[in-house]
């Protein structure tokens, strides 16, 4: 998600099922209108602090994050109190009545969340990592990453990666390595959408050369 710091004009961001816990990189995306963050590791509603100054944000999907808690009414009211310009929250339209009620039932967020001291470590949070490590979530994350990877390859005029080959990328890697790969894939996808035909042709040529080099290296290692 840190790539978003370099994309201030981006309008739509989809980072669902991606292990994200920090929304600070989004606070400069002034043109952002739609943000999809379903099923991540966002543990605190204080992360909304980073979205409060995004004037064009109209659609937010935040459900299935730890920050939603066990009280759906309090969660929804708090989000709407802090982001009153939303027109749709979690795929449900926002009403004028809800916005008025949010002033009473919602909690005002005035500060960002406190951060853990370990900066560059791969955070293994308590409740959220347990849920993330379930077979269902791992399978969904793999499917999501494979789909995103093949979207990139399709836009570059390349053949899709078969599922069996894709899954072989990561068996011996740590969770941190897998998350880094997923972040890189998402960053590439975001950048590809910003390119015109000339830019895509340059990317295609570069990727082709890179693939040839990788294949030569694999043959040498065999």
CATH code where residue 101 lies: 3.80.10.10
Q: Span 152-176, mean pLDDT?
A: 55
Inside any domain, residue 185: yes
22-38, pLDDT tens digit by residue?
999 999 899 999 999 99
* 151 falls within a domain: no
**Which range (61-70, 74-83, 122-131, 178-187) has the least confidence?**
122-131
Please enumerate in sequence order all residues whose Cβ is within 8 A of that of 112, keeping only pairs 6 or more positions apart, or say none.
24, 46, 47, 49, 50
44: domain range? 2-105
- What is the distance between the alpha carbons of residues 88 and 67, in angstroms, rounded to a whole number? 18
- One DSSP character per residue, 149-207 reads HHHHHHHTT-PPPPHHHHHTTSTTS-HHHHHHHHHHHHHHHHHHHH--HHHHHHHHHHH
Domain-terminating residue out of 105, 128, 150: 105
Position 54 in a domain: yes
- The partner residues of 35 in beta bridges, in order of sequence, read 13, 60
Task: Determine the length of the chain.
Answer: 222
173 found inside a domain = no
Quote the pLDDT of residue 171: 42
Average pLDDT, the chain: 77
Q: How many domains does the chain have?
A: 2
92's enclosing H/E stretch is strand 92-93
Give the residue from 55, 87, 105 where a domain finishes.
105
The per-residue pLDDT for 211 is 79
Q: With respect to residue 87, please indicate whether it lies within any of the assigned structural domains.
A: yes
Residue 148 lies in a domain: no
Residue that finishes a domain, picked among 105, 120, 146: 105
In a domain, 146, yes or no: no
Q: What is the pLDDT of residue 24?
A: 92
Looking at the chain, the whole-number percentage of residues with pLDDT higher than 90 is 38
Considering the domain architecture, whether residues 93 and 8 belong to the same structural domain is answered as yes
pLDDT for 85 beyond 60: yes
């Amino acid at each position: 998600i840190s790539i978003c710091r370099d994309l201030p004009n981006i309008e739509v961001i989809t980072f669902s099922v991606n292990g994200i816990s920090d929304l600070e990189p989004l606070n400069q995306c002034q043109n952002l209108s739609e943000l999809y963050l379903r099923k991540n590791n966002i543990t605190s509603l204080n992360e909304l602090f980073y979205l409060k100054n995004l004037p064009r944000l109209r659609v937010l999907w935040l459900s299935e994050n730890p920050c939603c808690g066990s009280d759906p009414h309090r969660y929804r009211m708090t989000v709407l109190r802090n982001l009153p310009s939303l027109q749709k929250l979690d795929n449900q339209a926002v009403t004028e009545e809800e916005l008025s009620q949010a002033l009473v039932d919602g909690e005002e967020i005035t500060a960002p969340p406190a951060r853990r001291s370990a900066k560059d470590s791969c955070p293994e949070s308590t409740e959220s990592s347990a849920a993330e490590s379930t077979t269902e979530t791992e399978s969904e994350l793999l499917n999501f990453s494979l789909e995103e990877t093949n979207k990139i390859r399709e836009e570059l005029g390349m053949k899709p990666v078969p599922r069996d080959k894709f899954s072989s990328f990561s068996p011996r890697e740590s969770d941190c390595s897998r998350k880094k790969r997923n972040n890189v894939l998402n960053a590439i996808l975001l950048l590809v959408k910003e390119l015109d035909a000339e830019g895509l042709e340059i990317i295609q040529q570069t990727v082709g050369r890179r693939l040839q080099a990788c294949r030569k290296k694999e043959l040498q290692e065999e």
